[in-house]
Amino acid sequence: MDKKEQVKEYLRDHPNEQTAVIADALGVSRRTVRRARQEAREATGMPRILLFDVETAPMECYIWSLFQKGPIHEQNIVKDWSVLCWAAKWLYDSRVYHATVTTAEATERNDTSILESMWSLMDEADIVIAHNAAKFDVRKMNLRFLKAHLPPPKPYQVVDTLKQAQKFFAASSHKLDSLAAFLNIARKGESNFSLWKRSVTGDSNALAELTEYCMQDVVVLEELYTKLRPWIKSHPNMGLYIDTDKTVCPNCGSDNLNWQGYYYTNSGKYRAFRCECGAVGRSRHSDVSESKSKTLVVPTAR
């Protein structure tokens, strides 16, 4: 058995293992693991899951007071925002893609040169993940794509880790780094406003630092996502993407399900399971018999 087949066999039992962990366990290169994972993904129809982060230039505006009330008029804008850099990675792949504007482009607020490469990744994705994706990252990129005359990417589903964290957990802070610290996972890089300020004035070192900061955000995001994933009840159903006759977890795609007990609604009784990833779910079809269904009543709507 060659190395790639060895990796594929390992992936069948450990589909959610990190690329680096597999490489170390089997004594193969990460490139071999990535290729084997890609071939396995194509063979089974596993979805392409993209994690990404965007860093933007701050707006420069004229204001009358630090305590100004109400919105700033658009005529007061000196320089509008633009994308300074982006970073992205495919789930479980160790490679982090990134692109950064030049120093001249940063001062001119011209991000056209780095948009098409990001668009291509999003166009390839089945699912995209970002922290505050719904209000910030996805909408910001959509606007820049529109300005650059790029069409909408192929339809994808969005998982917003900020929205999911806010929905299920009463954390003191739902910021990415605060959640990472609480969960004792990888941490964001250090930064302050001066990094963005230096970046938009054409400081090449600052742009390089900002790119590294953005890339680390994606690494942290991946760890946070895998921690939150079992809790996400609205997660895109992985079973719709995977070409298999087996029953798989809708959250992670594993077929290692432990069926136990039932999940009840007002009119149904469904077999319940717990996946190896921790997610819980139920069968689609009720176990209520036909005779029981005929006598079953439900309360009126509120």
In this predicted structure, the answer to whether residue 204 has a pLDDT above a threshold of 90 is yes
What is the identity of the amino acid at 238? Answer: M
Q: What are phi and psi of 82, to 5 degrees?
A: -155, 170
In this predicted structure, the answer to whether residue 44 has a pLDDT above a threshold of 70 is no
SS3 159: strand
Give CA–CA dist 203/196, Å, rounded: 10
Q: What's residue 111's pLDDT?
A: 98
Q: What's the token pair of residue 62?
A: 């004229």
Give CA–CA dist 39/3, Å, rounded: 13
In this predicted structure, the answer to whether residue 43 has a pLDDT above a threshold of 90 is no
Query: In angstroms, what CA-CA distances link 18 with 194, 222, 226?
Result: 35, 10, 11
Q: How many CB atoms lie within 10 A of CB 10?
A: 17
Query: In angstroms, what CA-CA distances link 5 with 32, 196, 211?
Result: 10, 46, 36
Give CA–CA dist 68/53, Å, rounded: 31
Q: What is the mean pLDDT of the chain?
A: 92
Q: What's the token pair of residue 231?
A: 């809790």
Whether the CA torsion 15, 18, 20, 26 is positive or negative: it is: negative
Give CA–CA dist 76/25, Å, rounded: 58
For the segment 138-172, what is each residue's pLDDT rounded down to a tens digit?
999 999 999 999 999 999 999 999 999 999 999 99
Q: What's residue 36's pLDDT?
A: 82
The set of residues, in sequence order, having a beta carbon less than 8 Å from that of 3 and lying 6+ positions away, is 26, 28, 32
Q: What's residue 80's pLDDT?
A: 96
Give CA–CA dist 82/95, Å, rounded: 25
Q: What's residue 61's pLDDT?
A: 94
> Percent of the chain at pLDDT above 90?
74
Position 92 confidence tier, pLDDT thresholds 50, 70, 90: confident
Q: What's residue 49's pLDDT?
A: 95
Looking at residues 208-235, what average pLDDT do you find?
96
Q: What's residue 32's pLDDT?
A: 85
Distance, first Cα to last Cα, the chain? 62
Q: Which residue has the tokens 């320089």?
A: 79
In this predicted structure, the answer to whether residue 201 has a pLDDT above a threshold of 80 is yes
Looking at residues 201-218, what average pLDDT do you find?
96
Looking at residues 103-112, what average pLDDT do you find?
97
Looking at residues 166-182, what average pLDDT do you find?
96
For the segment 236-258, what is each residue's pLDDT rounded down to a tens digit?
999 999 988 899 999 999 999 99
Query: In angstroms, what CA-CA distances link 171 with 166, 183, 225, 228?
Result: 8, 11, 16, 13
Position 216 confidence tier, pLDDT thresholds 50, 70, 90: very high
Percent helix, percent strand, percent coil in the chain, to nearest 5: 45, 15, 40
In this predicted structure, the answer to whether residue 263 has a pLDDT above a threshold of 90 is yes
User: Which is more confident, 26 or 182?
Assistant: 182
Q: What's residue 5's pLDDT?
A: 86
Among 9, 51, 88, 55, residue whose Cα is nearest residue 206 = 55
Give CA–CA dist 256/259, Å, rounded: 10
Q: What's residue 38's pLDDT?
A: 73
In this predicted structure, the answer to whether residue 110 has a pLDDT above a threshold of 80 is yes
Contact indicator for 192, 209 with CB cutoff of 8 Å: no
